[in-house]
Amino acid sequence: MAGLKLVVVSGLSGSGKSHALKCFEDAGYFCVDNLPPALLPTFVELCHQQGGEIKNVALGIDVRERVFFSDLVGILERVKVLGHSVELMFFEAREEVLVRRFSESRRPHPLLPHLPVLEGVRFEKERLAELRRHADRIIDTSDLTVHELRELLARRFGQEGTPRRLTISLVTFGFKFGVPYDIDLLFDVRFLRNPFFVPDLKPLTGEDPRVRNYVLTDPDAVAFIGQLEGLFKFLIPLFERERRSYVNVGIGCTGGRHRSVAIAGRLQESFSAFGYQVTIAHRDLNKQ
Taking the C-alpha atoms of residue 36 and residue 56, their distance in angstroms, rounded to an integer, is 19
Which of 157, 179, 211 marks a domain boundary?
A: 157
User: Do 171 and 152 belong to one domain?
Assistant: no
User: Do 132 and 181 belong to one domain?
Assistant: no
Give buried/exposed letters for 26-56 (b at 16+ CB in 10 A, else e): bbebbbbeeeebeebeebbeebbeeeeeebb
Q: What confidence tier does 159 reach under pLDDT thresholds 50, 70, 90?
A: low
Q: 205 vs 105, which has greater pLDDT?
A: 205
User: Do 148 and 99 belong to one domain?
Assistant: yes
Taking the C-alpha atoms of residue 243 and residue 165, their distance in angstroms, rounded to an integer, is 9
User: Do 16 and 98 belong to one domain?
Assistant: yes
pLDDT for the residue numbered 58: 92
Which of 125, 157, 189 marks a domain boundary?
A: 157
DSSP 128: T
Q: What is the pTM of this model?
A: 0.57
pLDDT for the residue numbered 228: 94
Q: 140 vs 144, which has greater pLDDT?
A: 140
pLDDT tens for residues 33-68?
Answer: 888 888 888 888 888 777 667 888 999 987 655 555
Give buried/exposed letters for 209-235 (b at 16+ CB in 10 A, else e): eebbebbbebeebeebeeebbeebeee
User: Do 78 and 193 belong to one domain?
Assistant: no
Q: Is 42 in contact with 70 (CB distance < 8 Å)?
A: no
Q: Is 183 in contact with 171 (CB distance < 8 Å)?
A: yes
User: Do 99 and 226 belong to one domain?
Assistant: no
Angle between helices 219-241 and 209-216 (to 10 degrees): 90
**CATH number, position 130:** 3.40.50.300
Taking the C-alpha atoms of residue 282 and residue 218, their distance in angstroms, rounded to an integer, is 22
Taking the C-alpha atoms of residue 12 and residue 95, their distance in angstroms, rounded to an integer, is 10
- Is residue 288 situated within a structural domain? no
Taking the C-alpha atoms of residue 59 and residue 64, their distance in angstroms, rounded to an integer, is 15
Q: Is 7 in contact with 58 (CB distance < 8 Å)?
A: yes
pLDDT for the residue numbered 175: 95
User: Do 40 and 133 belong to one domain?
Assistant: yes
Domains held by the chain: number: 2
Taking the C-alpha atoms of residue 224 and residue 207, their distance in angstroms, rounded to an integer, is 19
User: Do 11 and 37 belong to one domain?
Assistant: yes
Angle between helices 17-26 and 146-157 (to 10 degrees): 50
Q: Domain residues for 265?
A: 167-282
User: Do 11 and 147 belong to one domain?
Assistant: yes
User: Do 185 and 249 belong to one domain?
Assistant: yes
